[in-house]
Structure 1
Amino acid sequence: MPTQEQPGLIVRQKSPENTEFPFASLSDWLIPTELFFVRNHFPAPDLDARDWRLRVDGAVERPIELDLDSIKSMRSATFNAVVECAGNGRVYYVPPKEGLQWQNGAVGNAAWTGVLLREILEMAGVRQTAREVLLVGADSGVVDTNRKTASPGPIAFARSLPLAKAVADSTMLAYSMNDAPLTREHGYPLRAVVGGWFGMAWVKWITHITVLEQPFLGYWQARDYFRWERNLGEPRLVPLTEMEVKAQIARPVQGARLITGQPYRIFGAAWSGEAPIRQVQVCTGDGRGWRDARLLEAERPFAWRLWEYIWTPEDVGQYKLRCRASDGAGRVQPDLQHSDFESYGANWIVPVEVTVVPEPQTYEAEFVI
Structure 2
Amino acid sequence: MKNDKTSQNYTLNRRNFVTGIIPVIAGATIPSWASAKEIQQTREDNDFPGLITREKKPLNMEFPFPTLKNRITPNNQFFIRSHFNIPNIDATNWELEIGGNTNHVIKINLSELKKLPAKKVMATIECAGNGRANLAPKVKGLGWEQGGISNAEWTGVPLSVLLKKAGIKVGTVDIILEGNDEGMITEEPKSPGKIKFARSIPLNIAMQDHIIIAYEMNGKPLSAEHGFPARAIIPGWYGMASVKWLMKITASEKPFDGYWQTIEYAYWKRVEGLPTLTPVTTTLVKSEISRPVLFEAVPAGKPYQVRGAGWSGDSNLSKVEISTDKGNSWQPAKLIGPAIPFAWQLFEFEWVVPAKTGRYSLMARATDQNGKTQPMEHDLDRRTYMVNFISPIDVDVI
TM-score normalized by the length of structure 2: 0.87
Separation in structure 2 between the aligned mates of residue 78 and residue 3 of structure 1, nearest angstrom: 23
Structure with the greater alpha carbon radius of gyration: 1
Question: In the alignment, is the contact (CA less than 8 A) between 2:326 and 2:362 conserved in 1?
Answer: no
Deviations 1:262-318 (A, max 9, x none): 110100011111111111000011897101000001111100000000011123221
Separation in structure 2 between the aligned mates of residue 86 and residue 169 of structure 1, nearest angstrom: 23
Deviations 1:35-87 (A, max 9, x none): 11100010011111110000011111121110111111010000110000001
1:115 pairs, out of 153, 157, 161, with: 157
Task: Specify whether residues 337 and 64 from structure 1 end up closer, same or farther in structure 2 by C-alpha distance, changes over 3 A only.
Answer: same
Match in the other structure for 1:191: 231
Question: In the alignment, is the contact (CA less than 8 A) between 2:54 and 2:61 conserved in 1?
Answer: yes
User: How far does residue 129 in structure 1 lie from its aligned partner after superposition?
Assistant: 0.7
Which one-letter code corresponds to 2:362 in the other structure?
L
Q: Which moved more, 1:337-346 or 1:81-90?
A: 337-346
Match in the other structure for 2:394: 353
Which one-letter code corresponds to 1:62 in the other structure?
H
Match in the other structure for 1:220: 260
Mapping for residues 127-166 of structure 1, pairs under 5 Å = 127-143=169-185, 145=186, 147-166=187-206
Mapping for residues 187-266 of structure 1, pairs under 5 Å = 187-266=227-306
Q: CA RMSD in A?
A: 1.4
1:65 pairs, out of 107, 111, 114, with: 107
Secondary structure in structure 2 of the residue aligned to 1:340:
helix
Deviations 1:99-121 (A, max 9, x none): 11111101000010000000100
Match in the other structure for 2:60: 18
1:45 aligns with 2:104: no
Which one-letter code corresponds to 2:76 in the other structure?
E
Mapping for residues 305-320 of structure 1, pairs under 5 Å = 305-314=345-354, 315-320=356-361
Separation in structure 2 between the aligned mates of residue 192 and residue 142 of structure 1, nearest angstrom: 23
Question: In the alignment, is the contact (CA less than 8 A) between 1:7 and 1:22 conserved in 2?
Answer: no
Separation in structure 2 between the aligned mates of residue 79 and residue 91 of structure 1, nearest angstrom: 30
Match in the other structure for 1:363: none
Separation in structure 1 between the aligned mates of residue 50 and residue 217 of structure 2, nearest angstrom: 19
Secondary structure in structure 1 of the residue aligned to 2:381:
coil
Secondary structure in structure 1 of the residue aligned to 2:142:
coil
Match in the other structure for 1:364: none
Separation in structure 2 between the aligned mates of residue 95 and residue 339 of structure 1, nearest angstrom: 12
Which one-letter code corresponds to 2:378 in the other structure?
Q
Deviations 1:200-254 (A, max 9, x none): 0010000100000001111111111000011432110100001111000000010
Separation in structure 2 between the aligned mates of residue 287 and residue 24 of structure 1, nearest angstrom: 22
Percent of residue pairs bearing the same amino acid type: 42
Equivalent residue pairs, number: 355
In structure 1, the gaps of 5 or more residues are: 358-369
Deviations 1:117-169 (A, max 9, x none): 001001011111100000000000101x2x22110100000000001111112
Question: In the alignment, is the contact (CA less than 8 A) between 2:327 and 2:363 conserved in 1?
Answer: no
Question: In the alignment, is the contact (CA less than 8 A) between 1:326 and 1:332 conserved in 2?
Answer: yes
Separation in structure 2 between the aligned mates of residue 300 and residue 326 of structure 1, nearest angstrom: 15
Structure 1 moving runs of 4+ over 6 Å: none
TM-score normalized by the length of structure 1: 0.94
Q: Which moved more, 1:7-16 or 1:185-194?
A: 7-16
1:300 aligns with 2:340: yes
1:271 aligns with 2:308: no
Question: In the alignment, is the contact (CA less than 8 A) between 2:326 and 2:363 conserved in 1?
Answer: no
